[in-house]
Amino acid sequence: MTRDVDRLVTEIAGPADEELGMTPGALDLLEEITAVPVPERRRVRSKVLLPLAVGVAVTLGVSLLPGTAAALDVVRDGGYYVITVKDLFADPERYQEQLRALGLNIRLEVKPATPAQEGTMLPIHFGDSADEIRTIEGPGDCLGRGSCAIGLKVPIGYRESVTIVLARKALPGEKYKVLAPINAAGQPLHCVPFVGKTVDEVRALLAARGVNTVTFARPDRTQKPTPGSWYVHDGVMSAAGQALLLVSPTPQRPDVPGPAFTLDPCS
Amino acid sequence: MGQAERKQRFEEIYRAHYPALLGYVRRRTDSSDDAADVLAEAFTTAWRRLEDVPPDNQARLWLYGVARRVLANHHRDTGRRSALAVKLRAELASCATPAAEQDPSAVRTAFARLSAADRELLSLVGWEGLGAGEIAKVLGRPPGVVRLRLHRARKRLAKELDSAELDLSAYGSRAVSLAKGES
């Protein structure tokens, strides 16, 4: 199996390296990059002096940004910063300022999500540059896809640049940006079988749980009226009291790109 | 390291690994502009962090790792164009290869359904020809973990291929993206 699968992947590779030699454009880029001198001083400061100052400040319990209440709570624990979110509605710039002051190049994006997800941080790229960042496991089962976090443990001196999504409670009427399957823990159809049922049946299940606005994702990508006899294959909460359902005319799930939330959050 | 010495070392790395890195980036971007941006940023990072670049072939793996992170950030930053690589941009556009996405083969569809992490693992084997030990260096993970994840990724692709054959007969591959929240 191994070789077959690898061979199939090779076949969809795109351009090979040999087709891409040094060209005038490549030499141009080389000149452009090396024309910018690298300041030695900046490296020394960011590597040694700043974390030292921060370390002292954190140890003494001194706020690094006098005058503004900290949006994040930072504690040193061994070789890590333990960062928990204090103010979920703070201006994102304030998170960044605080993290920058710690010498961390971490960008926090605050996105509206369902109430059940409030306070959770989701690294966008698992197994990516966030490899060394550990999450602090909190209660609950975020999205039914693994452990839920309410904070981060970041190695002191962590230099990579990484973006982390922070879920906050959506304002009234605001669309969710962090999608939750409608059957995840804390969501309306948690442990309620709905896959394979008709649109009418699922509408009734949702309405009984306070979800009265339902929109549809159809295989033809159109906004045509969706018959109540169509089948439901998947669904996410799209805003408070609003669900988005993946539907098709047959009981067979349509082939749609994107993640399929196949994990059973009840198990 | 003095600036002249620095420049010489960087040029060696650049010339040795430019084709491999451009290949890596082009296989993972949709447009030649994106490819030029990511390549420019990855090599600029190498220039700034030259002291961190390991010797010989290890440099290529290190560069793949940097390009990976640049790509990850770039996908969220579309529209921001680098001022660098103007000529390169034009060259890449003129020799545009047929975009991989134009061919909705079952393999490509199944591959697209995998998680980004699975795709990257399988690509590093199938596209860059790396072994588990080398991938471990690119990703900064222990080789044992990489081998296990690779095994699982292969199994998941095989499974997606099985189900894709069933699904594709009923629906075209150009369908809605539920994950994007389009309604």
Q: Chain A within 8 Å of B145 (Cβ-Cβ)?
A: no
Where is mean pLDDT largest: A26-30, A87-91, B104-108?
A26-30
Q: Taking the domains of chain A in order of start, what are their residue ranges?
A: 44-59+67-169, 175-248
**Are residues B82 and B44 both part of a single domain?**
yes
Domain boundary among B73, B102, B131: B102
Residue B132: predicted pLDDT: 92
At A183, give phi and psi (nearest 5°): -110, 10
Residues A157 and A171 sit within 8 Å (Cβ to Cβ): no
Structure confidence at residue A40 as a pLDDT band (50, 70, 90): low
* Shortest Cα–Cα distance, A266 to chain B (Å): 21
Where is mean pLDDT largest: A18-22, A150-154, A248-252, B105-109?
A248-252
% chain A with pLDDT above 70: 67
**Are residues B86 and B107 both part of a single domain?**
no
Statement: residue A56 has pLDDT above 90: no
* Helices B32-48, B3-26: crossing angle, 10 deg rounding: 150
* Residues of the domain holding B38: 1-102
Q: Domain count for chain B, please give it.
A: 2
* Closest CB from B91, B155, B164 relative to A23: B91
Low-confidence ranges of chain B (pLDDT < 50): 98-103, 166-183
- DSSP assignment, residue B50? G
Residues of chain B numbered 64-123 and touching chain A (CB < 8 Å): 68-69, 72-73, 76, 84-92, 97, 100, 103, 105, 107-109, 111-113, 115-117, 122-123
Residues of chain B numbered 52-71 and touching chain A (CB < 8 Å): 68-69
Residue A184, Cβ density class (10 Å: 0-12 exposed, 13-18 middle, ≥19 buried): buried
Statement: residue A52 has pLDDT above 80: no
The C-alpha angle with vertex A43 and arms to A127 and B40, in degrees rounded to 5, equals 60
CATH of the domain at B65: 1.10.1740
Residues B13 and B59 sit within 8 Å (Cβ to Cβ): yes
Maximum alpha-carbon separation in chain B: 64
Structure confidence at residue A267 as a pLDDT band (50, 70, 90): low
- Tell me how far apart the alpha carbons of residues A232 and A211 are, in angstroms, rounded to a whole number: 16
Q: What is the ipTM of this complex?
A: 0.78
Cβ–Cβ of A28/B76 closer than 8 Å? no
- Tell me how far apart the alpha carbons of residues A220 and A256 are, in angstroms, rounded to a whole number: 11
**Are residues B11 and B77 both part of a single domain?**
yes
**Are residues B66 and B83 both part of a single domain?**
yes
Domain boundary among B78, B102, B126: B102
Q: pLDDT by residue (tens digit) across A162-221?
A: 777 777 777 777 888 777 788 887 789 988 899 999 999 999 999 999 999 998 888 887
**Are residues B90 and B138 both part of a single domain?**
no
Residue A186: predicted pLDDT: 78
Lowest mean pLDDT among A41-45, A106-110, B86-90, B121-125: A41-45
**Are residues B41 and B94 both part of a single domain?**
yes
Q: pLDDT by residue (tens digit) across B102-122?
A: 445 778 888 888 998 999 999
Residue A199: predicted pLDDT: 96
**Are residues B176 and B96 both part of a single domain?**
no
Residues A121 and A105 sit within 8 Å (Cβ to Cβ): no
